[in-house]
Amino acid sequence: MSEVPNEYGRLYIVSTPIGNLEDMTLRALRVLSQVDLIAAEDTRHTGVMLQQYEVNNQLTSYHDHNKEKKAPRLISFLKSGKNVAMVSDAGTPGISDPAFYLVRAAVKEGIEVVPVPGPSAFLAALVVSGLPTDRFVFEGYLPQKQSKRLKKLESLKEEERTIIFYESRHRLKQVIEDILETFGDRQTVLARELTKKFEEVRRGKTSEILTHVSSKGLRGEVVILVAGKPKR
Ligand code: SAM
């Protein structure tokens, strides 16, 4: 039995495509049309996306820079019986974006949080990588500062599971160099622009991936996957 007072609304965590509009689920479209409010990381970006599905609904911004101010307002709205959908710029809210903060506040207040699953870049990258999928660790973004990044990588050196990182293309070359320096030359996969026109999944040793990255100014969004330390 649910202990949530039934006068409260629900918070839906709605996944949206990571590049290909066909990846939106039917349920996500229904929920996004029916809720009282959609909290979006970037209202303009989400507005443009929703127009393509002919979904018209009210949007409000919720992002890293306003989450502390915005979360209590959204919680009050939910407590007044209204339903809210949370979407991020792409993929599954809460995976390397600020949805976690709102979910935690909602859980604390006894508000029901409902998943509407769909795409996430790390999972799409993992399943096509060819690296073991039975056990893996998702590390999200590595620290921007190189000294902290090297320290973090050092702490992952003995990890035997497949390791997944998100990265911005601006730091890509430097990060691959740091991975090579810390982990040695392991099997590595660069999954770029998944589900989009210029999708590329490049597999090889870290040194080969580094050569590829260095020879081309690669554009777009990337996931880096590195094989875990070989078992003895
Ligand atoms: N919540 C999102 C998810 O579920 O994947 C991730 C948000 S995070 C702010 C954005 C990062 O996800 C990018 O820097 C990149 O590492 C990765 N990413 C997002 N879309 C991608 C795509 N189409 N191809 C490859 N990586 C992608």
| Span 45-69, pLDDT tens digits | 999 999 999 999 999 999 999 999 9
Domain end call among 66, 93, 116: 116
Q: Do both 210 and 178 map to the same domain? A: yes
User: In the chain, how many domains are there?
Assistant: 2
Q: Do both 75 and 103 map to the same domain? A: yes
Instruction: Give Cα separations from 56 to 13, 36, 43, 68, 217 (angstroms).
Output: 18, 11, 12, 27, 38
What gap in Å lies between CA 90 and CA 112, rounded to an integer? 23
Between 165 and 3, the higher pLDDT residue? 165
Domain end call among 99, 116, 133: 116
- Give me ligand 1 centre to Cα 95, in Å: 9
Between 215 and 85, the higher pLDDT residue? 85
Q: At what angle do helices 99-108 and 67-79 cross, to 10 degrees?
A: 40
20 within some domain:
yes
Ligand 1: residues whose CB is within 6 Å? 18-19, 88, 90-92, 95-97, 120-122, 166-168, 191-196, 221-223
Q: What is the mean pLDDT of residues 137-164?
A: 97
101 within some domain:
yes
Q: Do both 112 and 125 map to the same domain? A: no
27 within some domain:
yes
What gap in Å lies between CA 9 and CA 172, rounded to an integer? 42
Q: Do both 38 and 87 map to the same domain? A: yes
Whole-prediction pTM value?
Answer: 0.95
Q: Do both 128 and 201 map to the same domain? A: yes
- Give me ligand 1 centre to Cα 229, in Å: 25
Choose which residue among 122, 166, 176 to substitute to test ligand 1 binding: the one with the highest number of ligand atoms within 8 A of its C-beta. 166
Q: Do both 179 and 208 map to the same domain? A: yes
- Give me ligand 1 centre to Cα 154, in Å: 24
Q: Do both 105 and 143 map to the same domain? A: no
Domain that holds residue 51: 10-116
Question: Which protein residue's CA is at the shortest distance from atom 7 of ligand 1?
Answer: 96
Q: Do both 42 and 96 map to the same domain? A: yes
Query: Which atom of ligand 1 is nearest the CA belonging to 196?
Result: 23
- Give me ligand 1 centre to Cα 210, in Å: 20
Query: Which atom of ligand 1 is nearest the CA belonging to 95?
Result: 1
Q: State percent of the chain over pLDDT 70.
A: 97
5 within some domain:
no
Biggest CA–CA distance in the chain, Å, is 59
185 within some domain:
yes
- Give me ligand 1 centre to Cα 45, in Å: 15
Q: Do both 14 and 106 map to the same domain? A: yes
pLDDT, tens digit (0-9, with 9 covering 90-100), for 70-112: 999 999 999 999 999 999 999 999 999 999 999 999 999 999 9
Residue 161: partners with Cβ closer than 8 Å, 6 or more residues away: 132, 135, 136, 137, 228
- Give me ligand 1 centre to Cα 1, in Å: 36
Q: Do both 49 and 76 map to the same domain? A: yes
Q: Taking Cα atoms as reference points, which of 80, 76, 74, 96 lies closest to residue 12?
A: 74
* Position 51, amino acid: Q
Domain end call among 116, 147, 170: 116
Query: Which atom of ligand 1 is nearest the CA belonging to 195?
Result: 23
1 within some domain:
no
Q: Do both 106 and 144 map to the same domain? A: no
Compute how many other C-beta atoms are within 10 angstroms of the C-beta atom of residue 165: 22
What phi and psi, each to the nearest 5 degrees, are found at residue 183?
A: -90, -20
Compute how many other C-beta atoms are within 10 angstroms of the C-beta atom of residue 192: 21
158 within some domain:
yes
| CATH code (residue 30) | 3.40.1010.10
Choose which residue among 103, 176, 193, 223 to substitute to test ligand 1 binding: the one with the highest number of ligand atoms within 8 A of its C-beta. 223
- Give me ligand 1 centre to Cα 91, in Å: 7
- Give me ligand 1 centre to Cα 221, in Å: 6
Per-residue pLDDT, 4: 59
Q: Do both 106 and 179 map to the same domain? A: no
What gap in Å lies between CA 6 and CA 35, rounded to an integer? 16
| CATH code (residue 151) | 3.30.950.10
60 within some domain:
yes
